[in-house]
Amino acid sequence: MLSNDIRFTPAGFIKIMSFLHLGISVTPIVLGALFFFNTEDAILDISSTNDLFLAIVPLGAIGSIFFGGLVFRKMTRNLPNNIDLRTKLARFQTASIIKYALLEGAALLGIVVFIHTQNLIYLIMGVLVAFYLAILRPTKQKIENALSLTGEEKARFDRVNEPLD
């Protein structure tokens, strides 16, 4: 019989965030590799001035980086002191998923345009965004810094195997 007494711990939260991040960040890398190795006539052409995608894909990448960071900061900074640690972690999780999804979308845009045009520059842009996404892997220290945990909240978060509720 399964126990309904599952407790929410900082270690469990970090593990969940790591799996979410891994699932989101691996998708564009795997798809990019799959499409690259199944393409026969790929070229690297940045001289085509009539190609509207040469503006759209970089703007999408840069926009997702800045907009994702902005949304993340808005959702995780200046949280009221009366919010408990579990609620702060939930806000961090929501903000992170939004940020990761925006970056994944930009990476997938580059990959989809590569499939359509066979121009490697779009695949390179998509892969660069995907690698940036991979660098954002959540760690205990990054979570503490993003939420500005201090005092008792930091001490509770440092006790990684103790339940938060």
110-153 pLDDT tens trace: 999 999 999 999 999 999 999 999 999 999 999 999 988 888 88
Quote the CA–CA distance of 32 and 132 in Å, as a whole number.
Answer: 15
11-51 pLDDT tens trace: 999 999 999 999 999 999 999 999 999 988 888 888 877 78
| Three-state secondary structure call for residue 43 | strand
Q: Model-level pTM greater than 0.75?
A: yes
Cβ within 8 Å of residue 66, ≥6 positions away = none
Rounded to 5 degrees, what angle do the CA atoms 76, 78, 84 make? 75
Beta-bridged to residue 119, according to DSSP, are 43
- Per DSSP, the chain holds a count of helices (H) and strands (E) of 6, 0
pLDDT band at residue 100 under the 50/70/90 scheme = very high
